[in-house]
Structure 1
Amino acid sequence: MEKSKGLRVILFPLPLQGCINPMIQLAKILHSRGFSITVIHTRFNAPKASSHPHFTFIEIPDGLSETEERTIHTKLLITKLNRNCESPFRDCLTKLLEPLDSETGDEKQRISCLIDDSGWMFTQPLAQSLKLPRLFLSVFTVSFYRSQFVLPKLQREGYLQLQDSEQDDLVEEFPPLRKKDILRILDVETEILDPFLDKVLKMTKASSGLIFMSCEELDQDSLSQAREEFEIPIFAIGPSHSHFPASSSSLSTPDETCIPWLDKQEDKSVVYVSFGSLVTIRESELMEVVWGLRNSDQPFLLVVRAGSVRGTEWVETIPEEVIERINEKGKIVKWAPQQDVLKHGAIGGFMTHNGWSSTVESVCEAVPMICLPFRWDQMLNARFVSDVWMVGINLEGRVERKEIEVAIRRLMLETEGEDIRERIQLLKEKVGRSFEQNGSANQSLQNLIDHISSF
């Protein structure tokens, strides 16, 4: 604690929900260890400063139009943000590093380092030019982060032309993915893959450290390999929400009626369904999900984010007679307090897109999963759930009512589900031990504190 007093850390999250949450969580952790926190953020998706009165928030312009803010193309959005934010961020950071306050003439608190998201492409050379140590936070699992750099090679090797008979084969260069998973990853927005990943790799190796919201118990082999390959300090400090609740950093307002509704349901009976803050689906896919849930005859809590169904505002296209059938067993909301939902005794399963945060939140609450991954790292996370940890059922992108109904029945009603519940309870306990005094996550966090204090 003593070494961190008098030190300030600058954090710069990428303005996406799945990136803001872990960055604000990290800010809370560092603040609890004595660091002062300044968060530089964009106007777009600005975090709620009022929820974090002990932090200093500084907004910079991002130059996005209303149309660009509403785009569903994440890579395009990130590209525009990188182009538009470089100059304002440089000006802001340079001013913060000046030894005296320009208005009062008072000496400023010393800035120890910059911590930003791996999606920012300009921060490493800028930090080097300002002689400021820069660490970055990855929102991916260690396995995906270190293995993603092989994707251009796999693309050149013709994975997009795979025969059906080959698609179930394991990918030796990217375990535990199967070739059909690589096919889905490479099938979208990969024309800039080579230069993008080349730059990410160079920035990784030039940084002062890499932080993961994971732990040895979830990804031990990949952590060892990443330390050898990148040759920089790596800190796996454990799932972020295990330190502090994340609800105060949500960009959306959760529907608090979820909890009273869950209170009325039987223990371990409800299927919770949420596809996160970025996934968009077609109207026809929503109907398949709805009918799969309803036909399973299990109670369900379904999150349909406003704007997540392409071409609609919310669920207004669902026929009234279908809504009536839904209301017999289920509840639809625009957003849910996910951690509170997963902790609730009525939840028996989680149908998820397998973003990393959702995946580890489910593990930490011992809620077995039905995996419906859509993009990028979600395919790998789903394989860990179904094939490595064996704590869920992978639908492999099959958004079909019968497949969904059968998966729910397998998980909630059959012996297979009982075995899965036993395994995820053991995994929860294993991860929990990493936060104990001599646990891997606790030790890694202390190493991170010492590392930042040494600059």
Structure 2
Amino acid sequence: MEAQRRNRLILVPCPFQGHITPMLQLGTVLQSKGFVITVAHTKFNSPNPSYYPDFKFLEMPDGLSDLNVSSKNLVSVLSGFNINCKIPLQEALTQMVKTNGHREKIGCIIYDEYMYFSNAVANHLQIPSIILSTSSAANMLTYQAIPRFLNDGYIPLKETMLMDPVPELQPLRFKDLPFSNATDSDGLLQLISEAHKTRTSSAIIWNTAECLEQSSLAQLGQGYQIPFFPIGPMHKMVPPSCCSLLEEDYKCISWLDEQMDSSVIYVSLGSIASMDEKGLVEMAWGLANSKQPFLWVVRIDSSNGRDGIKILPESFEKTVGERGYIVNWAPQKEVLAHRAVGGFWSHCGWNSTIESVSEGVPMICQSYFGDQKVNARFLSQVWGVGIQWESDLERGEVGIVIRRLMVNEEGKVIRHRAIELKEKIEISIKQGGSSSNSLIDLINHILLS
């Protein structure tokens, strides 16, 4: 343990909810093992230091104004971070090394795969670096295949090929690739290329488990000459803590306490995705038509920057009464672990995916962009714990698919598979399990680097 205390780890998260959450969870895991943690973060979406009193926080100027960040400008925002944050981080760590001297060393820099400037800083300061991949291993396989796609003429994708299976990446179709509907697909491909070609890191950490992605991890390993450490699901390895960038409404837990076991459909489409007014209203009446109790997250900016709750018709609230509960943001991990929740209508971001399968909660998979589409396909076609939604939102169909999952025989079969997967994940994080052993190997790797 003394060796760990003399090792300070620098964590560089990407400042979006789906990325910063696993990085802070990783910091909590490693801090519990004796390492000293510094989180180097952007001013944009900066974490609340009061939630992590044992961490040191280092703010990096990011060059962003009060920009309204959405899926439409993510590429330019991420590129901006990599341009603007490199020098501030390098200068701060240089000063840290000079100040601490031999009393404490920087053991390594652990950085989000999209904050690849950190790798250049690590090389400059001759500090080891490790990548944290906050998406699935299956998603990384699609990135690894990009040179092959370019060479074989699959990129740019053509409308006529979107439903075709991707060679060597079944069950994915071309429409499931994370760049298939990107607003700036060329920019995204360039960003991915930059992130991969600059890598000289010594390892990759994954917030996944071998029981979920053994095949994908094995395929990836054929193209990398560095060790992988699948140590997930990390949220099951740490005490409950607040990683949320939005205020969580805990009053919904009291409402859940009043509901029957496995009766509630929980609906949350993530922290960035939005739907138009028509889609929001159709979802509302679909929930009403399903006759199922529901907990629905409707962000203040959920409908093209507008407060989605204010868009809902008054007659909707009168119709559903006490059967529905709407919040701006929910404590998702606690919600999914609640006995009353029997289904999750999700955008299928990786955090939501792994949190749901860890609790044995089956899903309705409505993906929007990026790795969400890969995750949705695996949830429905590989793990068999979800129903993939690929239509426009229409109230009649929404009500039908909810009842398919929550009431019908099909849903019972899916729920049984979800519970089996939960049990496998529980074994992986126990002592002697694959994720537990990977964590031990990761600690040894850091100490020997």
Q: How does 1:205-284 map to 2 (within 5 A)?
A: 206-245=200-239, 247-284=241-278
Equivalent residue number for residue 428 of structure 2: 434
Seen in structure 2, the aligned counterparts of structure 1 residues 200 and 22 have a Cα distance that, compared at 3 Å, is same
Following superposition, the deviation at residue 259 of structure 1 comes to: 0.6
- Taking the aligned partners of 1:325 and 1:158, their CA distance within structure 2 comes to 48
Judge conservation of contact 2:362–2:385 (CA < 8 Å) in 1: yes
Q: Deviation per CA, 1:342-400, whole angstroms, max 9, x where unpaired?
A: 11111110000000110111111111101101111111111111101101111125423
Tell me which residue corresponds to 1:75.
Answer: 75
The alpha-carbon deviation at position 271 of structure 1 amounts to 0.3
Report the CA distance shift for 1:337/1:382 in structure 2 as closer, same or farther (over 3 A). Answer: same
What amino acid is the match of 2:184?
E
Instruction: Give CA deviations for 1:297-326 in whole Å, capped at 9, x if unaligned.
Output: 101000011212104134212222223224
CA–CA separation in structure 2 for the residues paired with 1:386 and 1:71: 24
Alignment check: 8 A CA contact 1:152 1:194 kept:
no
Q: Secondary structure at the match of 1:66?
A: coil
Aligned to 1:60: 60
Q: Which residue of 1 aligns with 2:50?
A: 50
Aligned match of 1:409: 403
Residues 1:10 and 2:5 aligned together: no
Question: Distance in 1 between the 2:298 and 2:36 partners?
Answer: 37
What is aligned with 2:140? Answer: 145
Tell me the equivalent position of 1:134: 129
Counterpart Cα distance in 2 of 1:362 and 1:273: 12
Q: Which position in structure 1 is the counterpart of 2:443?
A: 449
Give the TM-score normalised by structure 1.
0.93
Deviations 1:268-302 (A, max 9, x none): 11100001112122121111211111111101000
Distance in structure 2 (CA, Å) of the matches to 1:30 and 1:56 = 14
One-letter amino acid matched to 2:176: D
1:256–1:439 distance in 2 versus 1, CA, 3 Å: same
More displaced, 71-80 or 315-324?
Answer: 71-80
Match for 2:6: what amino acid?
G
Q: What is the alpha-carbon distance in structure 1 between the residues aligned to residue 428 and residue 392 of structure 2?
A: 35
Q: Within 2, Cα distance between the matches of 1:313 and 1:113?
A: 42
Name which of structure 1's ranges 252-261 and 118-127 shifts more when overlaid on structure 2. 118-127
Tell whether the 8 Å contact from 1:176 to 1:380 is kept in structure 2 after alignment: no
Task: Say whether residues 1:315 and 2:309 are aligned partners.
Answer: yes
Match for residue 365 of structure 1 among 347, 359, 370: 359
Cα deviation code 1:397-443 (max 9, x no counterpart): 54232222111111111111111111111111111111122211111
CA distance in 1, matches of 2:162, 2:154: 14
Structure 1 counterpart of 2:235, one-letter code: H
**Equivalent residue in structure 2 for 1:185, among 150, 160, 180:** 180
- Alignment-mate amino acid for residue 118 of structure 1: E
1:122, distance to aligned residue in structure 2 (A): 1.5
1:162 aligns with 2:159: yes
Show structure 1 runs of 5+ residues with no match. Answer: none
Amino-acid identity (%): 42
The correspondence of residues 96-135 of structure 1 with structure 2, limited to 5 A, is 96-98=96-98, 100-101=99-100, 108-135=103-130
Q: Report the TM-score when normalising by structure 2.
A: 0.94
Q: What displacement does 1:329 show? A: 2.2
- Give 3-state SS (helix, strand or coil) of 1:271's partner: strand
| 2:196 corresponds to | 201
Aligned partner of residue 232 in structure 2, secondary structure: coil
Aligned residues of 1:159 and 1:179 also touching (Cα < 8 A): no
In structure 2, how many angstroms separate the alpha carbons of the residues matched to 1:266 and 1:194? 47
The amino acid of 1:198's aligned partner reads S
Counterpart contact for 1:372–1:398, Cα < 8 Å: no
2:86 corresponds to which residue? 86
Kept in 2: contact 1:9–1:38 (CA 8 A): yes
Note if contact 2:181-2:369 (Cα within 8 Å) is conserved in structure 1: no
- Cα RMSD, aligned residues only: 2.0
Shift of residue 157 of structure 1?
A: 2.1
Question: Partner of 2:94: helix, strand, or coil?
Answer: helix
Match among 282, 292, 300 for residue 288 of structure 1: 282
1:316 partner SS? helix
By how many angstroms is 1:170 displaced?
2.2
Could you say if the C-alpha distance between residues 187 and 118 of structure 1 is closer, same or farther in structure 2, counting changes exceeding 3 Å? closer
- CA deviations over 1:195-247 (Å, ceiling 9, x no partner): 3222222234x111111000110000111122221111111001111111454
Q: 1:300 to 1:180 in 2, by over 3 A?
A: same
SS at the partner of 1:411? helix
Kept in 2: contact 1:289–1:400 (CA 8 A): yes
1:167 to partner: Cα distance: 4.5
How many angstroms apart in 2 are the aligned matches of 1:158 and 1:124?
Answer: 28
Q: Does the 8 Å contact 1:247/1:337 carry over to 2?
A: no
What is the distance in 2 between the residues matched to 1:189 and 1:216?
33
Q: Deviations over 1:57-108 (max 9, x none)?
A: 111222211135578522222122222212211211211222x35xxxx754
Asked if the contact 1:159–1:183 (Cα under 8 Å) also holds between the matched residues in 2, the reply is no
Shift in Å, 1:52: 0.8
Equivalents in 2 of 1:86, 1:183: separation in Å? 27
Q: Equivalent of 1:387, from 381, 385, 388?
A: 381
CA deviation profile, 1:17-54 (whole Å, cap 9, x unmatched): 11111001000110111111111111111111111111
